[in-house]
Structure 1
Amino acid sequence: MTTKDPAVQEFWDELRKTTQARIGLGRAGNALPTRHVLELAAAHAAARDAVHVPLDVEKLVVQVRGVGIGAPKVVTSRATSREEYLRRPDLGRLPGDATTVPHTPADVGFVLADGLSPTALNHHGAALLTELVAQLQDRYTLAPPVIATQARVALGDHIGAQARVRTLLVIIGERPGLSVADSLGIYLTHLPVPGRTDADRNCISNIHPPDGLGYAEAARVAAALVDGAVALGRSGVDLKDTSRSAALGPLSVHELH
């Protein structure tokens, strides 16, 4: 597009307010304007940094302890370095020392995992956990949280089984992109054991206020999924998000299918 017509420019300016996608950027000759080229390069650098900048474990431990459900246990996967973690996803799914996680039988357990964006966990992890606890603590017993490094989602199955929690919420840094480098996801697994697949989980994605899903809304959806998993006896493809139906009253087990 060109930017000579003010009406056209105004149209694209308004449309860009509704999305983080790079649309209607105009051109300078046969290329993008220099400003947008530099913004793209900066976004690419931020995405790369989000993957490689280490999780600030000490700071996160202090923040998570302050949530009030116990001192967190720190574990790692079998990936011994960030480079190995990126080359060998399978090692990120296996525990290096999950047997050190104490038995803390509870209704709900939490794993805060660095995933592919430690930056996301640095920015949002403790605040999201705080909202989850606020939504769940009146109805369920909560296990002390676990912080996992060099971790993939499936590492949570080993941790949850070792801790003996009934439903596990893995809060993990999502793969960064050129629009968002610090987005978190929540993966819910009911009755976690090694060998669970993605079909056994429910995911809440794109958590990164102010532009993405907010902490309170994400926690509300997660709490509804926990309720549904308990009622249904399983999580995954058979469990649907019914949080938007809460105002209509409780749903039966059959309505959760």
Structure 2
Amino acid sequence: MARRRRLDQKRGWAFGFAADVVRPTLTVLTRRDWRDGLKIPASGGVVLACNHLSHADPLTLAHFVYDHGRIVRYLAKQEVFDMPVVGTIAASAGQIPVARLSTDASRSYDAAVEAIHDGQAVVFYPEGTITRDPDLWPMRGKTGAARVALTTGCPVVPIGHWGVQELLPPYGKPHLLPRKTIHVKAGDPVDLDDLREGPVTSPVLHEATARIMAAITTIVEDLRGETAPAERYDPRAHGVRQTGNPHEKSHEKKESS
């Protein structure tokens, strides 16, 4: 059985409530293949960078991280915080709102930096949304995780996720039975040392992001036992919408049709 680490920090009422409800539910509904979770530092600010497969993987990833002694702080879309009850719990649990594709998104960057300085484990999905790759491989990444890591000097631990898409397919309905196995693996910190020596320029951010996505993809290859495409999928190049269900027409397209 994989080694685990006991939680050694205060949960707070909101995270405690969520953990006491969600964790037992996931334990019943899923089997867990947890690998190398002790590569997540036991304390201190850290960016956890993970691939995004399903609306359920924030729950299963939080389960993995919690089982290895840390509480996660997510950058969650603003709409979550606008929901009754759920929004209150998310805010009280220290989650970070993100106004995607908006000038207000810079506020989430400041909040993430503050959380890192406070010694928190902040989860980033560098893809920015559930993968649009037809075979669910990690896509081209955005630079937010790299920017926070280079600004704060904190480590970036890559995490690969596979299997949760069988529990809840992207933009689909849940398949609870039979029980699904959730595979999650943490990797060694991404080597960004040479990029920390100078200013955080656009080329530096893109190089750091490429390294982060390469590390995540290598882990996913290991979990899947397959080789990823040589070129990561770019939604913009394929004309695929960046938010929402890519299989549905956007509100703007509906109005113009």
TM-score (norm 1): 0.30
Task: Work out which of the two has the higher radius of gyration on C-alpha atoms and give 1 or 2.
Answer: 1
Q: Tell me: higher relative CO, structure 1 or 2? Use CA pairs within 8 A at least 6 residues apart.
A: 2
